[in-house]
Chains A and B, each alone.
Chain A
Amino acid sequence: MKFKLFESLGAKSVLFALIGILSFSFVQAQTIRVTGSVTSEGEPLIGVNVKVKNSDKITISDFDGNYEISAKWDDVLIFDYLGYATKFAEIKGNNVVNVELLEDAAQLEEVVVVGYGLQTKKEATAATVRVESEDIKKIATADLGAAIQGQISGVNVVASSGEPGESSNVQIRGLTSIDGNNGPLYVVDGIPFDGDPKISNDEIESIDVLKDAASAAVYGTRGAGGVILITTKKGKEGLMKISLNSYYGIQKITSGTKLMNREDRLYADFASLRGINGTVYGNTFTTVENAPFSLTNDSSLLDIIENDNAPIQNHNINISGGKAGLSYNINASAFMQEGVIIKSNFKRYNIRANTQYTQGKWKVSTGMSSRIEDRVIPPWGLIREGIQYRPLNAQIDPESSLLEGAGTDEQRAQNLANLGQRLSRTNNSENHFFDFSLNAEYKILPSLTFTSRAAASFNNGGVEMITPNYIAFRDDGERVDTPQSRIVNRSSIAKKTTWENILNYRKNIGQHTINLTAVYSAEQYKYSQFEASKFDIFNNEVTVLDGATGESNTDSGSRNRWTQSRDNTLLGALGRVQYNYAGRYLIGASLRRDGSSRFQKQPYGFFPSVSLGWNVSDEEFWEPIKDIASSLKLRASRGTTGNQNIKDYSYAGIITLQHDYIFGTDESLAIGAIQESFPNQNVKWETSISNNYGFDLGLWKNKLTMSLDYYTTNKKDMLFPVDVASSNGGGRDNSRITRNVGNMTNKGLEYAVKYRQSSGPLKWDVSGTFTTNSNKITSVSNDNILYFPGSTVSGHNNDGDLVTVIQKGYEAGAFFLHKTDGVVHTNDELVEYQKIVPSAKLGDLRYVDSNNDGEISLADRTYAGSGQPDFEVGLNLNMNYKSFDLSVQMYGSFGAEILNGNKALAYKSETHQDLVYQWTPDFANAVVPINRGYLHQNYAGGTDYWLEDGSFVRLRNVVLGYSLNKDLISRIGLNRLRVYVASQNPLTFTKYTGYDPEVGGNGLSTRGIDRGNYPVSSQIRAGLQVQF
């Protein structure tokens, strides 16, 4: 028997030692042995929890549904199995107790996690959605966001980049704040995290998403982006269960930007020169004429940096079990992903041990988790460089630190050598995370519980950046002067501590159920870093600091707001009342007061909420139609949440050092110190008030369930880093100030429907989600249009042209662009156009003078859509037939616009294939405007020339699995053996011409701008799941 197999290995005792929990022995008296079988519709049920009421005795049923337990003759046995109604059976002295369990159709009885507590789904008034571990595991990813994409209505997930280890942008119910951080709050087993906790998806038991403000309001200041509550796997009392999960797959880039090859380039060079200089062959001086041997080159950097068939794999083991008041769950996993772009790699090793111990009035649980992340970060802007690379350049080898034939022109040779050196640079980061939590619950009275929860997280990071010695020669053999080699080592420590005390009172008085909760919490986050660097590596083989011979440098990161030392604190107090009458009329109200160290003038904010629910189907008048409409609940709520996601110390101006100058004929150093950036002393809380109306309906014994939610959210005093006009003197590096800039509304509709067919050999379910959100700025301070910092289209050095805005009456992050009207083809057209653009020439792109003021200026820009989709649709299908299972997931996004920044960059860099078809006097009907250089208005960033329809439908995931026959595998000691093949992103239907219509960006300001983003790839993989 498998049980004995593992006992003989001593695994159990090892585990007990590992988790360090004392064993207790129990006195047993006057017992009898009870055996029996558990069945449902004649089939044996495996793994049913069989428990003796009012004792700690527990067992589970085996493969044949049989169990064996010792109990007193008058005990009551409890049979508990997920998805089935719990059954109580009195022993009455019998040695054999056989039971038949009934499937529990009333899924509404399932428990949902809400902030600071649990509720049955029936009692809940909140708009929450739960995703179970099975659904999360279908997608091969290290990222939680990617795993839940398309599964929850109202949750918009966009991959920010395909780079391994990057998190997606998760937006719950549209935009929360227009600050860069739009993400939700993650809470793992009750502990709030600073950003994505990045736990392994294998560790997750379930995810509950709090979408409405009323339920998120209990997290006050950080609830504005919605809350994702993660429950990690807990052990269950019973036999030890071991399961293994593994998959291995490969990834591939499926599209790209069309670039010119050597021949295209030759033609386009002359065509462009004719446009810019009016010169023709014979009086030109191109690369080829200067160095004819460059014709032997036909280089492409993109081909070299793309890493097709990059492997992705994950291996996981989960061990769980428990005995008499003690249970444990241990989960270990290793995830490894090579990037589809060279020099990117991500490895993550997670281990988590959860234990629960119950004794008398005490219930103590601990969680320990550690995680090691190992990341190879690609050189910045690699795709950009790939796009800008000229086919007549010598081919750079990213693995080599030697470049020959860099060109004849010194500056170009230098650029090429710099690029080569940048490609040969390595940037490795390693982070060690440790999370500990202790949760102690004490029942003061049967109805009064006190819980104290303490947690600490540590993140120790190390970064090692090596810029090796790089040797480059020009065509004439001259050595190119390359930047000094350098070693940079950085280490950082982040600490977060949380302490929460919760007092809970729950009492049933007749039909009345009352639940009171009080919470007091304190949190602190600290970060500091240290960096040391040294120049002149003696030999590229030795890359420790002592292996360099040049000048050394140290700093503490204070000059950058992301790396500066910081310490922030948060204090929260919460009171909540939940009341229901007969589970029929539900009412809840809460008030949270939060204090944050980030705000100096008004550190405190108040966040109230109220919610109502009515289980209409419990009313007597409903009885006649209960057979059809088995359940109906109406919900309404209103809540307030806040946002404090701004940089620390924004309220005070600071004096920075290192602005030194020299005076005198002996050149002595004079120390300089000055204020460089602008504080905002008045910065205050952003608040959002949200109303939610919804219903949950179950038809035909909940075979068909649906829920609908409509919400409106009013954001007030949005926090936003504003680009301060450069005339204030912040320069390029200190041009931003965090300010409460205005108000915004989100209105949206979410619809989720699911149909289950669970009888017969073919079991299947299909579910769909529909989400729409409309977002509108209702006021902006001073009624001005605000351009988002950093929202340039191409990312080209000379592109300072911002395109996304906050403007009253439009969605946040709307594109404001110049309308264009094709190429100027004829002299008549030219004469006409020169009236508004006097410097225009034939072949130029014609801008539209939208405000008819006779000139083209910023005021001519008009609204041109945004990266926000009009609506999104998700479709999930699961089928089981005998031993086969199939799951299909589709996701569609409609109505978003994309600015094809890669195209713009390739135009500006004269590498795009379109340039072969540019206007020339000989190709007078061209639709591609003539190249007059990167700065000319023809290829300027802020026009609709780059705008494309970003709608797409994507087959996100297909999984086909086969589970081996139980009888067969039980002979080799296995409980379950499933093999599967899966394909992720195999098909995408879109009109978009760039890499991928799923353009991430940073969530808002660059949302919808496809600018050198790391492409999302398709993959196929095969996996194995084993359970002992």
Chain B
Amino acid sequence: MIKVKNIVYILVAVLFASCSDEFLEKENPNALSTGTFWKSNEDLSYGLNAVYKAFSSANNIRLVENLHRSDLAWGNGFRKPTTANPFYLQTFNNSAEAIRDQWNQNYLTIFRANQVIDAANKLLKGYETDPEFNIADEADKAKVAKTNTMLAEATFIRGYIYFLLHNNFNQGSVPIKDKLPVEQEDFFTSVSSSEKVREFYLKDLQYAFEKLPSSWDNKDKGRVTSGAAAALIAQSHLYAGEFGKAATMFEEVMKLGYELTEDIGSNFTTRDEFNKESILEIGYTLSLKNDLPAWDGRDVANSAYVRQFTGANPGSWLGATPASWLITKYKSEVRDSTDVRNYVDRDNDGNFDVDAKGKNILRSYSLRTSHSIALVDDFDLGYYGFDVPGQAILFNNNFTAFWRKHTNWDLGFKDETQVSPGKVRSGVNERLIRLAEVYLQYAECQIELGSLPVALDYINRVRSRSGLQLLGTKGAAPKYDGVTYTGASLMEWLRNTEYPLELSAEGDGNRNVDLRRWGKHGSFATANYKLERFKELSKKRYISKRVDIEMPIDPENPLKKEIKGRFDSSITEAADPADPLANEKFNDLVIASQNYMKEEHDYLPIPITEEQSNPKLYD
């Protein structure tokens, strides 16, 4: 019986053995835990790189939808008049995937920036309490400086994203997240007032402006700078109608040594990236991460825009093409006939109106036009390996122009699919702010402040770089247009000629901010500006024409050519809207001007996904 008893005791001991806690402790084998990270400047730099990565996502801006919402672009897909594009038609609502993606990405970037800001502050505190830390020591001093710079970089990015959120969403009223969510209630944040949001990001940008260097070594180009912070602060003032403050801040930017590039074409393709004109720029490259599948978020190339903007087939998705009014405006830019850059030798012209074969002929279009958009009969700037854009693509089907910006037309490939076969990638950097924009915005401030000569000066700096006829009566024609500008007429020129022609389809899509604020701030504001503009543009009519293009047909013998007709590929504005020759298919914004309602379409709505997952959103 004793034996049995022993067995029972042993069994009981085995049964309820309590050395079990270790058995239940499991470490995640897949990744580091947050508790063991963020211990050094090195960790901080990994985190900051990931912030830049988030910052580089094109979803922060959604330029294509921004263009559709503005007056600059035609919808998408087939050429006019058939489109179902809700942004172009001004029927978008809070269910749109594009709006959701933009919102999500903005806050994702902010979440990452907040992690770095939080970690940097903890590191700085840690130095204070570390007994071995000595600020007099060079190494330790450098360590603090490095932490501080990284803190400022992350703060800039957070500020910039809030600037975007404020510009785009819900009348500027969005939730402010300035710390990491831990407890349950941290996850539900109500919207703050537009003023609060502005105050918040201005503080971030001001901090960045004070702490960031104004430039970086070549190996660190692409990091944010004090100049970019100043430019954003200035833009914020401009958008709020604080023209004096804005002008002062723009002057701060201009003090920092930026210069316009000699050639405007330096700003749109892989040529001359991070140049002297660039103030804020996102870097992309084709040469790394080639092993990833298509559309992989880990890629360091830019896949968002290239197929939407390119006009070369195959591989052209026609996501955004210039509006008719913009095309005709580009086409009619007046070249400065005294500028030698406007003269070319050429031997290819199809049967274009002007007999333009020969030596020393005036360019078909201005340098700015040529580098901004591809026109069927631009004989002076090739496109995707062809001498004339009209050879490269079918300009039929009412397609008359494509933006060259964001594409790789200058690399010699026949189309974008050859740049990265089987994938959608591009190495073109995104220039978010460049000096020309600062000049023009500064000019706008000066018009508002009553200093027309200064305004003219800055506008003319931009024009002069591209060999355009200058504004005003300062010198003799033909270099100057001889017009005496008033505040109103110069403002009108700036709004609907200079800004769009210099900056169309660039940056963070601020044309929508402009169209909105011109109905609100300043001495030249007109009520419901955007709607009025839409209505005005919708009344314009255009005449389309066939262009014949000489096509090389034998690669062995480049001189052997045949004439190809490109139907309805060239448009001009009809002087009389009732002209029977007017082609209705080129009308701009007809339905949009009927659908647009300021209250609903001035800003993007907060996406329904946020509304549904954040019950405190509007509390």
Contact = CB atoms under 8 A, between A and B. Distances in A.
A461 interface: no
Interface string A268-301: 0000010011110001111000100000000000
B614 A518 contact: no
A292 B597 CA distance: 38
A793 to B, nearest CB: 11
A819 B49 CA distance: 48
B219 A663 contact: yes
B595 interface: yes
Contacts of A671: 46, 49
Contact of B397 (A290, A658, A934): A290
Given A444-B4, A664-B219, A478 B314 contact: yes
B82 interface: yes
Contact of A729 (B23, B111, B222, B421): B111
Given A285-B79, A935-B95, A520 B221 contact: no
B184 A782 contact: yes
B78 interface: yes
Contacts of A934: 84
Interface bin, chain B: 35 or more
A725 B31 contact: no
Contacts of A573: 15-16
Contact of A278 (B43, B96, B184, B591): B591
Contact of B92 (A283, A595, A678, A935): A935
B91 A936 contact: yes
Interface in B74-89: 76-84, 86, 89
A728 B29 contact: no
A484 interface: yes
A284 B82 contact: yes
A664 B222 contact: yes
A474 interface: yes
A674 B47 contact: yes
B422 A726 contact: no
A587 B112 CA distance: 58
A565 interface: yes
Interface stretch (B99-107, B131-139, B333-341, B451-459): B99-107
Which of B100, B187, B189, B397 has the most chain A CB atoms inside 10 A of its CB?
Answer: B187
B611 A596 contact: no
Interface string B397-426: 110000000000000000001000111000
A552 B291 contact: yes
Nearest to A573: B16
A935 B608 CA distance: 12
B247 to A, nearest CB: 32
B56 A661 contact: yes
Contacts of A688: none
Contacts of B300: 660-662, 669
Contacts of A273: 82
Contact of A669 (B76, B288, B313): B288
A279 B82 contact: yes
Contacts of A255: none
Contacts, number: 351
Interface in A552-605: 552-553, 556, 558, 564-569, 571, 573, 595-597, 603
Interface stretch (B32-40, B323-331, B503-511, B542-550): B32-40
A723 B105 CA distance: 16
Contacts of A726: 100, 103-104, 107, 607, 609-610, 613
A673 B45 CA distance: 9
Interface stretch (A95-103, A204-212, A631-639, A647-655): A647-655
A597 B52 contact: no
Which of B52, B188, B288, B422 has the most chain A CB atoms inside 10 A of its CB?
Answer: B422
Nearest to A598: B26
Interface stretch (A58-66, A160-168, A409-417, A899-907): A409-417
Nearest to A282: B584
Nearest to B175: A727
A785 B31 CA distance: 34
A572 B98 CA distance: 50
A421 to B, nearest CB: 11
Given A723-B612, A782-B184, A798-B96, A283 B107 contact: no
A503 interface: yes
Interface in A712-744: 722-732, 735, 737, 739
A536 B298 CA distance: 20
A13 interface: no
Contacts of A673: 32, 37, 43, 46-47, 49-50
A486 B15 CA distance: 53
Interface residues of A, number: 120
B590 A278 contact: yes
A540 interface: no
B78 A662 contact: no
Contacts of A658: 298
Given A483-B294, A800-B95, A652 B49 contact: no
A932 interface: yes
Contacts of A484: 293-294, 421-423
A410 B315 contact: yes
A655 B33 contact: yes
A276 B11 contact: no
B120 to A, nearest CB: 13
B612 A667 contact: no
A312 interface: no
Contacts of B181: 678, 728
A674 B615 CA distance: 28
A553 B316 CA distance: 29
A933 B81 contact: no
B14 interface: yes
A725 B599 CA distance: 25
A481 B315 contact: yes
A391 to B, nearest CB: 18
A724 B609 CA distance: 10
A935 B11 contact: no
A941 B612 CA distance: 14
Interface stretch (B226-234, B279-287, B514-522): B279-287
Interface in A727-782: 727-732, 735, 737, 739, 781-782
Interface in B274-322: 274, 283-285, 287-294, 298, 300, 313-319
B345 to A, nearest CB: 34
A932 B609 CA distance: 22
A798 B11 contact: no
A551 B290 contact: yes
B20 interface: yes
Interface in B463-505: none
A782 B185 contact: yes
B177 A729 contact: yes
A666 interface: yes
B216 to A, nearest CB: 8
A672 interface: yes
Interface string A917-935: 0000000000000001111
B292 A567 contact: no
Interface of B: 4, 7-8, 11-12, 14-17, 20-21, 23-26, 28-35, 37, 43, 45-54, 56, 76-84, 86, 89, 91-93, 95-97, 100-101, 103-105, 107-112, 114-115, 174-175, 177, 181, 184-185, 187-189, 217-223, 273-274, 283-285, 287-294, 298, 300, 313-319, 397-398, 417, 421-423, 584-585, 590-591, 594-595, 597, 599-600, 607-617
29 contacts: A276-B591, A277-B82, A279-B81, A410-B313, A483-B294, A484-B293, A484-B423, A518-B12, A520-B17, A536-B422, A558-B30, A565-B30, A596-B24, A597-B25, A649-B30, A652-B33, A655-B37, A661-B49, A663-B221, A663-B283, A673-B47, A679-B34, A724-B613, A731-B107, A739-B184, A797-B97, A800-B95, A858-B612, A933-B91
Given A595-B24, A798-B97, 17 more contacts: A276-B83, A444-B4, A484-B422, A501-B14, A551-B291, A569-B24, A569-B26, A597-B25, A649-B26, A660-B53, A662-B222, A665-B273, A666-B219, A672-B53, A731-B107, A782-B185, A935-B93
